[in-house]
Amino acid sequence: MRIVGIDLGSRFVKTLVMEDYKIVERICISTVSFYKEYCSFNGRLKVDFKKLGIDSFDFGVSTGYGRNNVDIENFNIINELKAHAYGAMYQTGLKDFILLDVGGQDVKIIKVEKGVLTDIELNDKCAASCGRYIENMAKILETSIDEIFSYYKNPVELNSTCAVFSESELIGKIAEGVPFENLCAGVNYSLYKRLKPLLTRFKGKSLLISGGVAENKALLEYLKSDYDEINVLNDSKFNGAIGCCYFGILKYKK
């Protein structure tokens, strides 16, 4: 039994193949490239799986947060919150957890109890607490995202709510001669400050992290002050796609 799970994110499309409950294939393609080079559209999205390197499969499940077209031909659509809940269940074996997923434009916090979703929080109106913000700030600092992720000590204060104003604020700090490390830490800390209010209703001992921003070591350091344990999922970027496959397995079995 081969199951394909596709998570159509705002920055990347993650495709995953599971065979007999094991992950056998992971493909991550930028969202724009995926639509332009691997898809055709005739009322529904038709994916060229051969081109993707996937031969045959028994069942397909896709997700995407409604802001993106997720209507792939012959695929079952599930909502993204559920996909992430199943992904974390598959990866950890836990039935009770809080998961923070920070993607390119979306922040999702979900609470699962006894294997059922019981609470959620999503960013709305603004995505300055997501990956795209870090990307923009990396451009200003003329460095890589990974470089920014590695600094967390002595963050410079960046107070703007708006991601665009934050850029001018950062330029102002560069002009003041603030060291590069503190600038990077400041970017990470400002992201954390935007995430913190979303987490207020999700107090607990431990927190699971997924999404591209899970690679942000600095953010994890800041979160350690709010939780006893921070656990980054192994396949953090692919969690949504894993959830699709896991849901597919459950569905296909029946």
Listed ranges 18-26, 109-117, 161-169, 228-236: which one lies at the site for other proteins (CB under 8 A): 109-117
Listed ranges 8-16, 76-84, 218-226, 233-241: which one lies at the site for other proteins (CB under 8 A): 76-84
Q: Please, which residue, 85 or 185, has the CB nearer to other proteins?
A: 85
Q: Is residue 141 a contact residue for other proteins (CB under 8 A)? A: no
Range list of H helices, 142-226: 145-149, 163-175, 180-199, 217-223
Supply the minimum distance, in Å, between the C-beta of residue 254 and other proteins: 5
| List 37, 58, 71, 113, residue binding other proteins (CB under 8 A) | 113
Strands 206-210 and 116-122: unpaired
Q: With H, G, I as helix, E, B as strand and everything else as coil, classify residue 47.
A: strand
Q: Please, which residue, 81 or 183, has the CB nearer to other proteins?
A: 81
Q: Please, which residue, 36 or 205, has the CB nearer to other proteins?
A: 205
Supply the minimum distance, in Å, between the C-beta of residue 189 and other proteins: 28
Q: Please, which residue, 48 or 113, has the CB nearer to other proteins?
A: 113
Q: Is residue 164 a contact residue for other proteins (CB under 8 A)? A: no
Cα(200)–Cα(82) distance, integer angstroms: 21
Whether 7 and 83 have beta carbons less than 8 Å apart is answered as yes
Which has the closest alpha carbon to 29: 50, 13, 9? 13
Q: Is residue 119 a contact residue for other proteins (CB under 8 A)? A: yes
Whether 243 and 175 have beta carbons less than 8 Å apart is answered as no
Q: Is residue 82 a contact residue for other proteins (CB under 8 A)? A: yes
Q: Is residue 116 a contact residue for other proteins (CB under 8 A)? A: yes
| List 8, 85, 195, 223, residue binding other proteins (CB under 8 A) | 85
Q: At what angle do helices 131-141 and 163-175 cross, to 10 degrees?
A: 30
Whether 162 and 128 have beta carbons less than 8 Å apart is answered as yes
Strands 45-47 and 59-63: unpaired
Number of Cβ within a 10 Å radius of residue 47: 23
Which has the closest alpha carbon to 70: 49, 48, 45, 107? 45
Q: Is residue 247 a contact residue for other proteins (CB under 8 A)? A: yes
Q: Is residue 118 a contact residue for other proteins (CB under 8 A)? A: yes
Supply the minimum distance, in Å, between the C-beta of residue 93 and other proteins: 16
Q: Please, which residue, 63 or 166, has the CB nearer to other proteins?
A: 63
The footprint of other proteins (CB under 8 A) covers 79, 81-82, 85, 113-120, 247, 250-251, 254
